[in-house]
Amino acid sequence: MQKLWAMHLEFQNSINPILVGCRISNESPLLSYSFMNNIKKITFLLSFLAVSLTIPAVQAKEVVSLQAKDGHAGNTIVSIASTNDSFNVLTALLKHAKLVGVLNGETEFTVFAPTDDAFGRLPKGTIESLYQPENRELLATILTYHVVPGSVRSTELSSGAVDSVAGIPLTISVGSGVTVNRSNVVTADIEASNGIIHVIDQVLLPPQ
């Protein structure tokens, strides 16, 4: 969005002199070199905008900026999540459920990671209730329902059921984008030293 806004400002700056010239110049703008030069700029900007706006929806819905470096020894799933402001709730819940050690180890996993916004879409009071001691087992089940064994990139996903670490299958649908149950993958294939993170826009809740 920042890039598109910058392009919009450049477009405005390019077209304003033309509009002024049409109002106050005695010289026909069609014969002005600066006018023709600006027309070329505008044509380029409009063409670039047209291409940019055709980016697939899976990339446009929500972008999470992660500073991951492939192959970095300390770049685990948990370390990536804990250093990114989009996963504050997820990180806190993983700590409370005592699952940090599992996702910080050498065993490879694929995590469908809900953002803070995704957790915010849950009914009011849901997150608070998951911190209650009597709901710790339920919390662990919900969190491990977001995890599947091994490193699975988005190009390796296919439509159908896949077993989660919780022992409850997830439903994957691959088309113009990727969905997990009813959640959209909004940022895919974030590589960690011990697996893959796919960012999703809804929390996955196991069927009751």
Q: Is the pLDDT of residue 127 over 50?
A: yes
pLDDT attached to residue 82: 95
Neighbours of 170 (CB within 10 A): 20
pLDDT band at residue 69, thresholds of 50, 70 and 90? very low
Calculate mean pLDDT across residues 147-165. 97
Measure the CA–CA gap between 24 and 21, rounded to whole angstroms.
Answer: 5
Taking each continuous run of H as one helix and of E as one strand, the counts in the chain are: 9, 7
Q: Is the pLDDT of residue 149 over 90?
A: yes
**In 3-state terms, what secondary structure has residue 185?**
strand
Looking from the CA of 16 toward its CB, the CA atoms found within 13 Å total 6
